[in-house]
Amino acid sequence: MDRAEQTDMDDADRVDGAVIRDEIVPAGSPGGHVVRHGEILRLIDLEGQQAVDFLCFDAADSADRYNATNTIKVQGNIYIGTGTVLYSDPAPLCSRSSLIPAADTTRFYGCCSEANNFLRYGVRDTPSCYANFRKILARFGLGEESIVGNVNFFMSVPVLPDGAAGVADGVSQPGSCVELRAERDVLAVLSNCPQTHNPCNGYNPTPIRVMIYRVEAAGGV
């Protein structure tokens, strides 16, 4: 690891508040937790070039869930950057509060599935983000009808002037991280993408780190 990468890893460890959860999600695995209003969810790409698929729901009403088209329409942009708000139908769910380092590789692209892997790559019986979402959502009593178009963190999906789009080589560096601030109590679920048939993970899925913390109020109150 060079000096710049070590600096990024050191930055990812710094938290200005009380840590509520800090865990490693293994390569190719799902994860999910309730993030309370005002808490920060931090996702850290430990080794670089690792795509993370993400969905969120109102913790009290799972039918009130992340909506990609509303998020695009309200902000007039197909990309997610610092300050972007993730919307459901009626209101904000989470807001994108920061990105370390500055290169942004977050996109709306959806998740891989066994069926889609066969359609695109001619392979069967593959692990997928769709299967991971089914697994983690079941832990919270939700079915596959809750799987909608998701956010793809750390994933490079360039859109060309003619509208062409596709997965490009990952550019996320070790220690890159994204943060989301919960604008209400939300259920946040993710798939640490197991894909090996396109370059979203550099053909080598790796672990990520997930932190949840609450910023301490001025004066320690």
Q: Tokens 């698929």 label which residue?
A: 53
Is the pLDDT at 101 greater than 50? The verdict is no
Residue in 60, 43, 165, 173 with CA at minimum distance from that of residue 110:
165
Read off the pTM: 0.86
Q: Which pLDDT band, with edges at 50, 70 and 90, does 171 fall under?
A: confident
Which is it for strands 208-215 and 40-45: parallel, antiparallel or unpaired?
Answer: antiparallel
User: Cα–chain-centroid distance for residue 144?
Assistant: 18
CB atoms within 10 A of CB 153: 27
Is the pLDDT at 165 greater than 90? The verdict is no
Please state the φ and ψ torsions of residue 49, each to the nearest 5 degrees: 60, 35
Spatial distance between the Cα atoms of 199 and 49, rounded to a whole number of angstroms: 9
Contacts of 111 (CB under 8 A, 6+ apart): 53, 128, 129, 130, 133, 147, 150, 191, 193
Among the residue ranges 7-11, 137-141, 143-147, 173-177, the one predicted with the least confidence is 7-11
Average pLDDT score over residue span 133-162 = 90
pLDDT at 99: 45
Q: What is the pLDDT of residues 20-77, one digit of tens each?
A: 999 999 999 999 999 999 999 999 999 999 999 999 999 999 999 999 889 888 888 8
Q: Which residues pair with 73 in a beta bridge?
A: none
Q: What is the pLDDT of residues 179-216, one digit of tens each?
A: 999 999 999 999 999 999 988 898 999 999 999 999 87
Average pLDDT score over residue span 154-175 = 77
pLDDT at 95: 87
* Tokens encoding 15: 């938290």
Spatial distance between the Cα atoms of 45 and 50, rounded to a whole number of angstroms: 6
- Continuous H helices in the chain: 3-13, 68-75, 114-121, 129-139
The domain limits of the chain are 3-213
Among the residue ranges 2-11, 118-127, 187-196, the one predicted with the least confidence is 2-11
Q: Which pLDDT band, with edges at 50, 70 and 90, does 221 fall under?
A: very low
pLDDT at 17: 87
